[in-house]
Structure 1
């Protein structure tokens, strides 16, 4: 893919480009905790976006997407939200300009194999790849966390998704065969080896397309904030659900709707599960780790209500199979993939089983991806 992207760039623009590889991400546990100042446990994976980029000595930016065979141009004097994939690139350029970084005209070709809407954060890969490319070309001297925060702001302002920092962080900080526990409040992070060679990380795509820009994602944020406000009235030190305990939530239960209570209960429990999960990784206990994943799915389905019948069915299938240590919906929800920890020698039979049972139930064959944990954004 890297070579094809480079060749396409040379064919279109007639010069040698800088190549940037920008990965998708998985999150083993810690879902919808990032915008509540909690902890997450992501990793970068081998699904990726590839950029070829070079300056063009104009005030124009020209971008060609291989996956749509479409070229879009915009002026650096007129960067504003625009429908389609170009919006993510323009969001990055806008944030650089607002931050006082000089941006000159550039050409780029963008390619990739991250399935859109599958919960692997293709949007963060698009943002992280471009900001790393422009940082390299223009010598901004940004560190990786500055790049991640800029990508997050781009997502907030142009697509309008009020995402937490996890996706952009994982995209830029990934290390091969390591997961990262990120404190989404302090932005401190720690690497933990994911050293289970007898298991593979398998993603099963429900084929239900989700869009995090849908109103439901932002509604969940508002619901969490509503719960925090109620707790704050009795406990002013509570700034977010990260600070809250189940006891404090129970104290204000009669002031909250059942929905708001459930949303907050899920998040408080999930923040603790991430802490427990890293202790299990240190001990090498993948079986108990997997049980936490199942508990997360139950919470996401019943309390946070971001699952769907297709995702619940995939997790139910996983629970029936002894070769699966754990499974859950991954990403924002409302569709996308489940993440499954599957014994390596059983991956092929598991894939066959999932695809046949799912097709019987829903009339469609799900895509299945066997992934590996890889480095974050690389500039070549």
Structure 2
């Protein structure tokens, strides 16, 4: 697909020198809805990609073309504003605004962007776009930022320009993930380590429910408000910054509103599940890790209430087979994808049976992606030169 995006760039903006940036999707193995509460998460880079072609212009024009939406948008570096009619452009414009805020000169730019990350599937296509533009901006201007600055810049773009109160996991993992490894990230300290995936004979399969979900929907932001409310109440009793700092969440069962306590309990327990998962993976215990995946999903369904009928159907189906070790929603939930850990040889049968039953239940076909953990954008683009002639 990279060649298609490069061809589209030439068709829109002409031949000459331009840069192509490759940015992966991400899937979170476990640790859901806790990145914005300073928790541990365990994502991987996924072999679905955003490809971004761009080059500097002599004037102040910003010219953008979305390959997937077949839409063109134009503005100038002095007139960057939120675009209600072109939502895809906001993820690009937000990063350019943040790059400019750092005091960096922002030249005119022309960009073609596209890829094969399913939008709305929970694989963080938005963060992949943001990271790709942050990398492209550095390559075009020659201004190199530290990796953590790139990550924080991309997150600010989503928080402040796009208006989604996301944590830092998506941008971090998309930038710094490593092939054949998961990335254990402490979202409070931003300390991280790579965890080799010892899953002999087992594969990760993503099942796309084909139920669209919007991360910026009221449900996501309501959950963020709810856990922030819990933090503010608990601060009266102990010195914490996040719910993951709490010593024993059960102490607050009668001190928090019922719904708020449920949200807080998920975050407290999910944080511990991540660390248990790392121990299981390091021992090669796929059964143990799979069981933690199932527990994570039940918590997201019953306590955090961000699952849906389609996701629960896939997880319930998965539990029927000893060849399937675990399954859970990945991403924000409310639709999107289910992550399944299973024996590689069992994948064809699993896909065939689930497709038939799912189609009967929901009158639509799920999509399946057998995924491989890949390098993040930092490693993917190390050798990309500022000068590439086409």
- TM-score bucket (shorter structure): over 0.9
Cα shift at 1:3: 1.4
Match of residue 226, structure 2, among 223, 228, 245:
223
Match of residue 107, structure 2, among 104, 125, 133:
104
Distance 2:278 2:104 in 1: 38
Contact 1:308 1:334 in 2 (8 A): yes
- Number of residue-to-residue matches in the alignment: 377
Match of residue 60 from structure 1: 61
SS in 1 for 2:289: helix
Match of residue 364 from structure 1: 364
Contact 1:10 1:16 in 2 (8 A): no
SS in 2 for 1:307: coil
Q: Deviations over 1:14-71 (max 9, x none)?
A: 2232110011000000001100001100011100100111112110111111111111
Mapped pair 1:311 → 2:311: yes
Unaligned runs of 5+ in 1: none
Unaligned runs of 5+ in 2: 385-390
Match of residue 240 from structure 2: 238
Mapped pair 1:254 → 2:259: no
Match of residue 387 from structure 2: none
Structure 1 stretch displaced more, 110-119 or 136-145: 136-145
Distance 1:369 1:326 in 2: 16
After TM superposition, list the pairs within 5 Å mapping 1:224-373 onto structure 2: 224-235=227-238, 237-245=239-247, 247=248, 249-373=249-373
Contact 2:197 2:282 in 1 (8 A): no
After TM superposition, list the pairs within 5 Å mapping 1:26-37 onto structure 2: 26-37=27-38
Cα shift at 1:11: 2.1
Mapped pair 1:175 → 2:181: no
Q: Deviations over 1:322-344 (max 9, x none)?
A: 21111001100111010001211
Match of residue 156, structure 1, among 159, 167, 191:
159
Distance 2:100 2:72 in 1: 23
Match of residue 192 from structure 1: 195
* TM-score, structure 1 as length reference: 0.97
After TM superposition, list the pairs within 5 Å mapping 1:71-220 onto structure 2: 71-83=72-84, 84-220=87-223
* TM-score, structure 2 as length reference: 0.95
Distance 1:82 1:211 in 2: 17
Distance 1:195 1:133 in 2: 34
Cα shift at 1:93: 0.6
Cα shift at 1:251: 2.6
SS in 2 for 1:234: coil
Distance 1:139 1:318 in 2: 49
Contact 2:198 2:282 in 1 (8 A): no
Cα shift at 1:111: 1.3
SS in 1 for 2:220: helix
SS in 2 for 1:200: strand
Cα shift at 1:252: 2.7
Structure 1 stretch displaced more, 361-370 or 224-233: 224-233
Q: Deviations over 1:167-188 (max 9, x none)?
A: 0001100111010000001101
Q: Moved runs in structure 1, 4+ residues, more than 3 A?
A: none
Distance 1:209 1:337 in 2: 10
SS in 2 for 1:64: strand
Distance 1:196 1:314 in 2: 22
Match of residue 44 from structure 1: 45
Cα shift at 1:108: 1.1
Match of residue 19 from structure 2: 18
Distance 2:309 2:4 in 1: 39
